[in-house]
Structure 1
């Protein structure tokens, strides 16, 4: 019988709030896409030329990563 934890892409941290490194390939894909988006923002939206656009786009993809972690990560406080 599969464990319910097997369905999570990101485990909850043992101490504190947040998630650890991915435990499923889907989580690693999400993390790789996040880093690719941040690097792309640094290349295309030079922070010293377009600081608001750069930080806004990094903030947007970070919020998207947090939403994915909330949806597919282990709920906080279950450990």
Structure 2
């Protein structure tokens, strides 16, 4: 349910997946993800785009894992619930 503080990442109203965080822990995870992507882009992208892509993919998988662990269980939603 949206606004439930048990979940750091509530489910999206439409579709499958998670929406924006609803507490400080979720925002901290998302801010850390963005900061690490930016830092990796500044250091790796000019030298090795392939290495940056792998780096970004690993960070994305870690973010998905945290969303799965601390987020509302994902399922397809049509907006009514």
Q: TM-score, normalised by structure 1?
A: 0.86
CA RMSD across the alignment: 1.4
Q: Deviations over 1:25-73 (max 9, x none)?
A: 0000000000001001111102x53011100000000000000000000
1:65 equivalenced with 2:58 (yes/no)? no
**DSSP-derived class of the 2:14 partner:** coil
Runs of 4 or more consecutive aligned structure 1 residues displaced over 4 Å after TM superposition: none
Q: TM-score, normalised by structure 2?
A: 0.84
Structure 1 residue ranges without an equivalent (≥5): none
Q: Which has the higher helix share?
A: 1
Distance across 1 between alignment mates of 2:29 and 2:52? 20
- Superposed displacement of residue 6, structure 1: 1.9
1:39 equivalenced with 2:42 (yes/no)? no
Q: Which has the higher strand share?
A: 2
> Match of 2:23?
24
Q: How many residues align?
A: 74
